[in-house]
Each structure stands twice: as structure tokens, then as C-alpha cells.
Structure 1
């Protein structure tokens, strides 16, 4: 947490929220597009997983593309790829096996996703109708696989679902998408989401690496997250 990159991320996050509340363009958009790259620099500094780095690259592209109204769906596609990277990482760390043993973890997220789509469906543009269910499924996938892998990352996945859910309701006309409070809610939850996902993954990977080559990261044991060598 003493990394200059994460300190810069925190500063830019606060500045962005202030600019967002003030509606100060273009600085609001510029600061938003700095968030994911700063986390990416942190991941590279910490020698984090490539899938996490890729996810943050696509988050940056999504942030950039969503600044252009005509590229909204392309921006969604970039975020969809980011979620595929997150899901792929969590699956590689045994998320599916843990979810199979605790299927009840999935139900609340699936219900929330379906409810969100159902509530906003009639207000969506025709162009969005085919892609929203797919994107919602990816959001739910990130949330449940993250939660099955790491609590902190799981909270991040949940906040990502909340953030994009607010965007959906705004696009569907269920809430005022141009209201100051809406923009602040979207960005506050998004900033928290990418930070918690990133920091949760990095912390878990450090434990896995420190535990040595004989430690299977896909199996949660009674000594997790204490290193096997230090268990008493």
C-alpha cells in the first residue's frame, strides 16, 4: 500500500469524484481514464497475474470508449472482456469447485441480475436488448467466482455489479442518469470495485507464491491464508 502507484490511484480517485460532482469536463473524463492504468502500474510493479493486468487494460478501454455516446456498446464489449479475464483467473484458482460445494452463493447474485434486467428491460433501446443479458451474466460471473476465491475480491465483484446496475437503470430511464448523485454513485462503486478486485487478487497471489511450489492455490485448507510452513 506504500507504492507510489496506489497512492496516485487514491489521489486521482478523490480528485475524480470531486470533478464528477462538479461536472468539470474534460478533467472529469481524463481523471476517470487514469484510474485503471494506475492500478495496472501497481500490478506490474507487484509482478501480479497477467490476467489481472489484461482485465485492467480492458477496463481502461471501456472507460475511454464510454466517453463517446456512439461507442457505448463497444465500451460495454471492452468491459465484457475485462470480466472474462477476471472470471478466467478466479476459475483457475478453484472457484468452480468451491461454488459446486456451496451453490447457495450463486443464487442471490443470479436473482439480483435477473431482477435488474427485468426492471429496466422495457426502457432499453433495441440495440442494447441483445447485449444486456450477456453482460449481466458476466457481471454475475465475476461476482460469484470472486467471492468463492477471496472475500475482498468478492466485495469488489459485488460493487461492480452495483455500479453497472446503476448505469443500466439510467439507460433504461428508471433513474436520472444525468443527475449528480447518479454519476457519483456509479464512479464511487466502480472505483471501489476495481481496487478491491485488484488488491484481493494481489494479496492472494502473494500468499500462494510465498507458500511454495507444493501449495495448491485451488484448494482452500484450514491453514489458509496462513502459510503452510508457519502453521502451528
Structure 2
């Protein structure tokens, strides 16, 4: 059975930290925000440390490492000068998510989701392309990887049809949305409250991923 009390406590702490981080960023308290942003991600991924050792399988460990790369990306993106390194950190996170999804239930080829997701990914890339400059190739590769990650994440739900996998499918879509908003704000047209929308969708994504992995692990049959 899932330990809902512990799970809810960590989720509440993460929510409070996320709201505090968003408020401090919006109000311009940069130093406080730089502390709270990674702390929020640490709080979210800490949920996976409470999975009993006997239930922690390779899938959970891969998800945890992927979330750790997200944390690294968070820290690097606090300084615009490290944008490329932050991009690489998140790219590695997405690759690890793909490995985790495939390792957990195998490769899942679903034509409809493949076509829809890659059409969306392609449309976003070609819309951004005129403004990418030297980032064209890295962004193309990133779009391909995150779209593949979303495809396999949705595939888990299409195969299993369970609540935890629905969370995972929703999470990968939120991740695509968050990264799309970030790319639009950076390369195409900066817009009001971009950072708030990016943070909300990003933390919803990794929060759902962590909670899904936690639920999957604790509901695993002995």
C-alpha cells in the first residue's frame, strides 16, 4: 500500500516551496529565488528516497537519476551564461526518462501518438527555426529527444491503463509544454509572466513523475 501520509506531507512541502519560489521570482527577490528553486526540486525528488529498499527497482533508480539531472539543469539555468549546459543536463534527464520507461515495460510503438507528438514537435521546431541561430542543431536534437520521451511516457499509460501511468502521461505532456514556453520566451518572443508559467508546468511535470514512480514502486506485488 502507498504511504499517503508521507507522500502528502512531501507534496505539501514541495507545493509551499514552489509557491514561495514563484512569488520571490515574480517580486524580483533574485537571491531568495535562486535558493528556493533548486530546493523545490530537491523536495519533489526526495519522495523517491522513502521507497523501501526492497521495492526500489531499476525503474525507480533511473527516474531518480533523471530528476537529479533536472535539478542540475535548474541550477545551471539560474545563470543565462550556462544555458547550453542547462540544456545538456535536461537532455540527459530526458534520455534517462526514455531508458526508464522502456526498461520498465518495454518499447511501445503506438502510431497515433507517434504521429501527433512528432507533428507537434516538428511544428514547434520549424516555427522557432528562424530565430534559433547557432542553437538550431542543439534545439532540433532536444525537440526530438523530449518528443520521444513524451511518446514513450504516454505509451506506458496506453499499455497499462492505471492511475500512476496516467500521471506519467500527463507529466510528459507538461514537460513538453514547459520546455516549449521556455523556448518561445528565449528565442521567439518574450512574454509577460513567462517564468511563472514555465515553473508551474515544470514542477507539475516532475511532481507527477515522482509521485507516479513512488506509487508504482509501493504498489508493486511482492
Q: What is the TM-score of this pair, normalised by structure 1?
A: 0.82
Structural mapping, 1:54-65, within 5 Å: 54-65=65-76
Residue segments in structure 2 that go unaligned for 5+ positions in a row: 157-164
8 A Cα contact 1:147 1:153, kept in partner: yes
For these two proteins, the number of residue pairs brought into alignment is 203
Worse-matched range after superposition: 62-71 or 197-206:
197-206
Aligned partners of 1:142 and 1:36: how far apart in 2? 20
Aligned partners of 1:94 and 1:53: how far apart in 2? 17
8 A Cα contact 2:24 2:33, kept in partner: yes
Does residue 46 in structure 1 map to residue 58 in structure 2? no
Q: What is the TM-score of this pair, normalised by structure 2?
A: 0.86
RMSD: 1.6
By percentage of residues, which structure has more helix?
2
Residue 148 (structure 1) shift = 1.3
DSSP 3-state at the match of 1:50: helix
Aligned partners of 2:37 and 2:155: how far apart in 1? 29
Aligned partners of 1:62 and 1:108: how far apart in 2? 28
Pairing partner for 1:163 from 153, 171, 178: 178
Worse-matched range after superposition: 18-27 or 148-157:
18-27
Matched residue, 1:190:
202
Residue 147 (structure 1) shift = 1.2
Aligned partners of 2:87 and 2:5: how far apart in 1? 33
Q: 1:51-98 CA deviation, whole Å, 9 max, x = no partner?
A: 1110111011000001112210111101111111111110012252xx
Aligned partners of 2:79 and 2:26: how far apart in 1? 20
Matched residue, 2:190:
176
Aligned partners of 1:152 and 1:43: how far apart in 2? 16
